[in-house]
Structure 1
């Protein structure tokens, strides 16, 4: 786990900086400087673009990680060709069916119709940025691309909303530049690949490499649905809320969804690096490494993600203090979404293992089940409970999806992420939540947050450290203690 830990730490530092900037944008600036439907529009444009990009990528993200050990840097040229084809087909279909799509949002989200055309440039730049980011991940060089997507693009969005607030930009100009911001980080990531000497667009392959192309076609065809379904579950709730409830509800839901996204940061950091390690381990048929990474990733993701969930839950209302009143009701939505994230990260890298194994087709089947289940549950719960219904639908779908993957890996590959340490970790998390939760509420939000957070940390960190359930986390704590000690 040495490589995973080092890259996870660097990734987390940058990503958490991005989270702070995201909090400034999503919680402080956008909701206060924009009307609720205007804020909902920014979330809709981003969510729809993410869905379009998943269609257009045609499974290239998983394909690049799985086959980079066989093709080396030639895999980038293959990815560019596939993404270009996928964009042409996807955007052509959107143009053809544009009127039918717009009719879905005509009644509840008319503002979305005015800026629908911006989805095309937004999608093109996002597809190629995702491609370059994935390629850099296989090289263990994704820190720069993480900085671009987590920090730089959010700095640009902060500048844009401030320019709009001080009337240097009209709302139409703000939305235009908001959509085009991804072009900046896409170009910079391509330049970085060139600078590190990893840019090649060659399509010349040797005999052994050609032998993998038939397998690539089959793999990509199945993983398109798999990757799309996983991303859709994080966005279909917003898309359906936009058509059923309207952009104002989307804005409220987006606040809770953003706060829940913070929870998966440690898991994302671990998974991004672990995916390349697992792909190489399967090539070498080293199942001991896979089992070790599976167990450690599940434990670490559970500990770190649960800590983030507890801290946010304890302080949620204080965090919402600076928002308009209509956003304060988003706590229940966050609670359900956050719990679903804990389940998702706490079960480790089950999806990564499946998609890099010979059972990758099974992952596609499970993902399609997830997609169908998500749509059905949202259709049931959104009309009944609005935003809370969408959160419940997402939670139920993710729990079932992860239990399916967990059961399959246990039965077919004898892999299980859980150990006795898992029970210890869950117990520590419960104690760290229950005690601070029941202390009296202080009138001053800063004092209240400080006391609750300090109490939680003072319970959580020592228990994690002295139970020694993770040598990696203990080493990090020891390093922190050494840094705090004065030099003699």
Structure 2
């Protein structure tokens, strides 16, 4: 197996392990041990931190991936690495000072609907700063083709330690208020661990000097800040908007639904950790034929894996919601709306990596800013009318419009095409299996019913996709595993 498939498989396994732990936390422990208010509060704080993270990182994690391979000497690479770590402070320090000056106004705006928020607002920039430097040092490791450890920390480590903190709450070793502060401590720990790991890969020799192409880097960085802000606002902006219109408990109800739907995007998150630097290298070397092949492969591979995950979630969603407290059941339709938007984004393959490594990325980013404004407007319109359903519908429309815009841009400008006949076959297979299994339930307990239906779907889905060779790379991976078993 190649390095892309090898590390992608490892990252996928790690990410799903993390989501498995996250499922225990999200579906059972958070609702029961924290209650809807503190569960919603924790989600709100981390969502806000995730939205401001691109501003703190100043896009350096993406700049590191894009430009690192262009430097030839050790001294040039060292100077560039130093720049990516130190330069964000130029913007971070003034932003923190400005926030401190307007602290009362910020406090009033964020807590006017939910007063509890004002006691924890200061945690938002702290967590955002930890997230930003985690991403920078994770990118440091990724450009050296070490994507697995950082992914483990991000996807498994944080959730595993959250599980331990929830156990501490269960035994009254930690209060629910203390849990919120301890969560901030986890992000700080993740940042420190990743930093030392990155330093272990390449020992830093910090230089207070600008890279030779600093103007190009800073121009690119400005647009990447927009890009990161757009992506994170589309991901977490809905929860922030809910806090402005509804009691914070609704964020907890919405978070469970979105967590379930976000499982669909895990294959994409895992593959992109290693595909991004490879895409950047192919773009830099003008190897567009190879890039077009990679584009198609990532698209169909993600579609097959993501389609399987989406199918498993959708056909078992009623049984899944039967296992959690009844007050959370109002988010069932949210799963479908968010899930469909994630599936469509998934089948675009490494579309984002291609855009961010071309000279045309600026136009798409400004389009993204426009769509964020549309998303905010849609949320302001639909949340007062339909609550969390309106929020989900606004998110579905926004993400779908943004995904279509990015797809058309790559097709028209670069003449790269992600879809093949297999794309249509995969959609048909997934849709037929959904119709066959959604309306049929085993007459057993929810856990046993989910297990049996998931097992049956897995066997049928894998067999059909293998038989019709929907993805040659996935078939090769299955053959590889089968050969290992036979030996």
SS of corresponding position for 2:63 = helix
Partners of 2:147 and 2:206 in 1: CA distance: 20
| Structure 1 counterpart of 2:58 | 58
- How far, CA to CA, are the matches of 2:462 and 2:434 in structure 1? 13
Distance in 1 separating the partners of 2:422 and 2:413: 24
Q: Secondary structure at the match of 1:202?
A: coil
Counterpart of 1:191 (choices 196, 206, 210) is 196
CA deviations 1:193-230 (Å, max 9, x no partner) are 2222343323457xxx51x2111121111221111101
Task: Name whichever of 103-112 and 161-170 sits farther off.
Answer: 103-112
Which runs of structure 2 are paired with 1:254-333 in the superposition (5 Å)? 254-333=255-334
Given that 1:264 and 1:305 are in contact with CA atoms closer than 8 Å, whether structure 2 keeps it comes out as yes
Structure 1 residue 104: Cα displacement: 2.7
- Which string of whole-angstrom CA distances, capped at 9 and with x for unpartnered residues, describes residues 277-328 of structure 1? 1111111111112111111111111111111111011122322333221112
| SS across alignment from 1:34 | helix
SS in 1 for 2:356: helix
CA contact (8 A) 1:333 1:388 kept: yes
Kept in 1, the 8 Å contact 2:299–2:419? The answer is yes
Work out the CA distance in 1 between the residues paired with 2:239 and 2:389.
12
Question: Paired residue for 2:207?
Answer: 202
Q: Which residue of 1 aligns with 2:246?
A: 245
Deviation at 1:417, TM superposition (A): 0.7
Residue 20 of structure 2 is matched in structure 1 by: 20
* Corresponding residue number in structure 1 for 2:453: 452
Deviation at 1:76, TM superposition (A): 2.2
Per the TM alignment, residue 132 of structure 1 is displaced from its structure 2 partner at its CA by 0.6
Deviations 1:142-191 (A, max 9, x none): 21111111112212111112112211122332221111111111111111
- Confirm whether residue 436 of structure 1 aligns to residue 437 of structure 2: yes
Q: What is the correspondence of 1:11-410 to structure 2 with a 5 Å cutoff?
A: 11-71=11-71, 72-204=77-209, 210=212, 212-410=213-411
Structure 1: state its 5+ residue gaps: none
Q: Bigger shift: 190-199 or 289-298?
A: 190-199
1:385 and 1:242 map into 2 onto residues whose CA distance is: 15
Aligned to 1:8: 8
How far apart in 1 are the matches of 2:177 and 2:257? Answer: 26
Q: Tell me the alpha carbon deviations over residues 430-451 of structure 1, each in whole angstroms, 9 at most, x when there is no partner.
A: 1221211132452421332133
Root-mean-square deviation over aligned CA pairs? 1.7
- The Cα shift of 1:73 comes to 4.4
Name which of structure 1's ranges 33-42 and 447-456 shifts more when overlaid on structure 2: 447-456
**Range that drifts further, 230-239 or 281-290:** 281-290
Q: Distance in 1 between matches of 2:314 and 2:203?
A: 43
Looking at structure 2, the residues matched to 426 and 356 of structure 1 have their Cα atoms a distance apart, in angstroms, of 29
- Alpha-carbon distance in 2 for matches of 1:291, 1:394: 30
1:480 corresponding residue in structure 2: 481
Matched-pair contact (CA < 8 Å) for 2:147–2:274: no
Q: Is the contact between residue 52 and residue 90 of structure 1 (CA under 8 Å) also seen in structure 2?
A: no
Deviation at 1:483, TM superposition (A): 4.2
Whole-Å Cα distance in 1 between the matches of residues 104 and 379 of structure 2? 24
Query: Distance between the aligned counterparts of 2:278 and 2:202, measured in 1?
Result: 22
Q: Please state whether the residue corresponding to 1:195 is helix, strand or coil.
A: helix
- Ranges in structure 2 where 5+ consecutive residues have no aligned partner: 72-76
Q: CA deviation at 1:105?
A: 3.4
Asked if the contact 1:57/1:86 (under 8 Å) is kept, the reply is: no
Deviations 1:39-71 (A, max 9, x none): 101101110111121221111122111111123
3-state SS of the aligned residue for 2:479?
helix
Provide the C-alpha distance between the structure 2 equivalents of 1:73 and 1:415, rounded to a whole number of angstroms. 34
Shift in alpha-carbon separation, 1:217–1:196, aligned structure 2, 3 A: closer
User: Are the counterparts in 1 of residues 83 and 209 from structure 2 also a CA contact under 8 Å?
Assistant: no
CA change 1:73–1:267 in 2 (3 A) is: farther
Moved more, 165-174 or 323-332: 165-174
Q: Secondary structure of the residue that 1:200 maps to in structure 2?
A: coil
In the alignment, is the contact (CA less than 8 A) between 1:137 and 1:272 conserved in 2? yes
Asked if 1 retains the 8 angstrom alpha-carbon contact of 2:364 and 2:409, the reply is no
In structure 2, do the counterparts of structure 1 residues 138 and 328 end up closer, same or farther at CA, with 3 Å as the change threshold? Answer: same
Deviations 1:231-265 (A, max 9, x none): 11001100000111121110000001111111111
TM-score, length of structure 1 as denominator length: 0.95
- Give the total of aligned pairs: 482
